[in-house]
Amino acid sequence: MTAQMFFIGFFGISAIWFGVVVFRTFSMVRSALALLFSQTALGAMFLAMQAEFLGVLQIMMMATEMSIMAIFMVMFMMDPGGMGTMDMTHQKRLSLWAGFVSFVGGVAIAVFVDWGPIAAIAPDAAQQTIDLGLEILGRSMLIFEMAGLTILTAMIAATAISIPELKGKQQ
């Protein structure tokens, strides 16, 4: 067993475990923190797969995103601390089956598809960043610009639908 295999497996199991904890706990703050740990484990898994830039980006972005999510959870939930052990689920059996079938289908594809030759080495971190920069400012520039524009549109849309409706005309 190589070190890379060990760390991919370890962080992968951690990400799955914390992902399951998100829906197992009654406390919404714990749910948000479990999702944060799951996403951080994924970032560490990216680092184990030698994608340094994406790993660091994932950890930084998810730390911010999940902190905001935890605040919203406390704001919106009737029982954010989970003291009342209130059940907030529906169609559990259908959901379990859908999740299980998705998992089995994904594993079957992973195991039975012939993925072709496996690359033994990846470019070093500096070369990866250069390649990604050239990709963003070259062939994928239009896609990247569209992503930026879409984020701007989403920010404006989110602000527009969340501001209170004005009662009557303001002079």
Partner 1 sequence: MSIELILALTTGAALFGVGIYGALSQTNLVMIMMGVELILAGAMVNLVAFWRFLHPDTAAGQMFVLIVMTVMAIEMAVGFGVAIARFRSRGSVEMEEAVELKG
Q: Which of residues 133-152 bind partner 1 (CB under 8 A)?
A: 134-136, 139-140, 143-144, 147, 150-151
Q: Does 132 bind partner 1 (CB under 8 A)?
A: yes
Q: Which is nearer to partner 1, 103 or 171 (CB)?
A: 103
Q: Does 28 bind partner 1 (CB under 8 A)?
A: yes
Q: Considering CB under 8 A, how many residues would be counted as binding partner 1?
A: 87
Q: Which is nearer to partner 1, 84 or 164 (CB)?
A: 164
Nearest to 85 by CA among 27, 19, 20, 22: 27
Query: Are the C-beta atoms of 58 and 44 separated by less than 8 Å?
Result: no
CA distance 48 to 55: 9
Query: If you count them, how many residues does the chain have?
Result: 171
Q: Does 157 bind partner 1 (CB under 8 A)?
A: yes
User: In whole angstroms, how close is the CB of 168 to partner 1 at the nearest point?
Assistant: 17
Q: Does 164 bind partner 1 (CB under 8 A)?
A: yes
User: In whole angstroms, how close is the CB of 152 to partner 1 at the nearest point?
Assistant: 10
User: In whole angstroms, how close is the CB of 126 to partner 1 at the nearest point?
Assistant: 13
The amino acid sitting at 153 is T
Q: Is the dihedral of CA 142, 143, 147, 148 positive or negative?
A: negative
Nearest to 38 by CA among 61, 17, 52, 57: 17
User: What radius of gyration, in Å, describes the C-alpha atoms of the chain?
Assistant: 21
Place of tokens 């009662």: 167
Binding string, residues 86-105; x marks residues near partner 1 by CB under 8 A: --xxxxx-xxx-xxx-xx-x
